Each structure stands twice: as C-alpha cells, then as structure tokens.
Amino acid sequence: MNTYLYSTRLYKDEKEKGADQATKGGQFNKMIPNDNQTQRISIMLKDKMSTYFGMSPPTCTSYLHSPYLVITLKNILSPLESSLINQGEMFLVEKIRDVIMKPLLEELEDQLKQTMAFQVERWYYDWKYGANQGIIMAKEEKGFMSDVANSAHTFAEIVVDCYTEIHTEPERVKVMEVHQHAFLLACSGVLFDIEKMLFKQGHEKLLRKRENPRRASFLHRLSQRLGWDYEHTFDHVSVLWDYEQDTALIYLEILKAS
C-alpha cells in the first residue's frame, strides 16, 4: 500500500526500507543519457501525462543511474492551468497536480517494475510554474551508488558550501553528473535536531513554510559565489527536502552556451 505526502511532493512505499547505502565524502557518477531504457521511460511518462493531464510535455528527457532516475520536463502547463495561474489560482493548480500525480506515479511505478525490473522506493517531483518546467525523480529500492573518488570536484564543493551556509552541513554527499550541463547532489544528514523533533510530532507543514525562503537564499549565495547571474546561468534548479529520510536533493542544470 502506498501513501502520498503532499507537502513534500514525495511519494513513498510504506514498508520499512533498508539502511542508507551512502558513504562519507563526495562521490561522482555519470548518468546514462540516451539509451533504450531512458527513451522508453520518457515515452511511458509522456503517455501517462497525456492520459491524466490531457496533454504531455513536448520535451521529456530521462537519465538513469542507480539509485536515481531523473526526468526533466519542459512546457508542462496545460491551457487551463496557465489560465488559472494568470487568475491567481496557483494553490488550486498545485492541489490538482498533487491529486493527479498519485495514481499517475502508481501506474508508472508498476510499469517500471514489470518492464525494467526497476523497483521504486520513493518518488520526488517539483514544478517550476514560472519557467513552465518540472522534474520528477525516483529512488530505486535496492540501488546504491558505486564509490568513485572525486575530491577535486570544485563545483559540487561550492554547492555544498552554499547549502551549509543556509541550513546545515550535510553528513554525506553523493554527486551525480546527470549530463554535461546538469548535476544531482544527494545530501543526507541535513536536519537539525529540532527539525527532526518537529517532523516526528507532525509539524511538517511548519517546516515546509521555511523552504521557499531557504531556496531563495541558497540560489542567491550560489550565484554570488560563482559570480553568475542566476536567470542567465541556470536552466533549472530544484531543492527538495525529505524529512523522513533526513535528506536534501539538489538538482542544477546550467544553460548551454549559445
């Protein structure tokens, strides 16, 4: 039986999961961009979104490297959603999408399991309505990241430093190159004791209220450290917190030089 946690935009299986496979220190792995599996995943997702949303994003690209599946989408909004947002009904659009994503991910999870033996442990997604784009991520149930040394990965170190300044220093970090211009950082051990206590006492909504200011502060500090203009540098940035797993996922996609 699956449950959906609205405020975290996280979809998870209720049963107990195994211990985290992460190891101390940075790790660097490259995702697979254009093989048959990832193409099939993109097609499956587009079919599901067409069924549930009445349209599918024209741009849908999947990348796969155990334990993470990353799917980026562009032009995600339907005409109805665009109209509602223009009328100030952002909350309604978010609520509708959350309701729709639950059965959509259930079906996609079953299809991934049956056709590719990919057993999903947790789903994450994030929509950037202003940029008309989104990201969907899945963590594989038994997947783990192979140990690859990358002590000289300066960009990832800067990202982690900026995250540390706006929240806390992660205990463990995994770094994956999604493609030449994009990175995914899986940071675990990121919560303060008070945050863990608040989550256990059922105050997740209170914790969520702090996320948008924290994201904005993170992006501001990252742009300052890199000396880059955010709007003209990053194509997509998402920071997602999983309070149950004491984890933050940071996805950064840099605009290709024209």
| Domain definitions of the chain by residue range | 31-145, 152-258
Per CATH, 31-145 and 152-258 having the same topology is answered yes
The per-residue pLDDT for range 193-206, each reduced to its tens digit, is: 999 999 999 999 89
> pLDDT-derived band of residue 247, with 50, 70 and 90 as boundaries?
very high
Q: Is the pLDDT of residue 186 over 80?
A: yes
The per-residue pLDDT for range 110-132, each reduced to its tens digit, is: 999 999 889 999 999 999 888 89
Give the pLDDT of residue 31: 54
Give the pLDDT of residue 149: 41
Q: Which residue has the tokens 């990358």?
A: 150
Q: Rounded distance, CA 254 to CA 180, Å?
A: 9
CATH number belonging to the domain at 31-145, selected among 2.60.40, 3.30.980, 3.30.70, 2.40.50? 3.30.980
Taking the model in full, what pTM does it have?
0.79
**CB half-sphere exposure, 249, CA atoms < 13 A:** 25
High-pLDDT (> 70) share of the chain, %? 79
Question: Which CATH fold would you assign to the domain 152-258?
Answer: Threonyl-tRNA Synthetase; Chain A, domain 2 (3.30.980)
Arithmetic mean of pLDDT over the chain: 81
3-state secondary structure of 206: helix
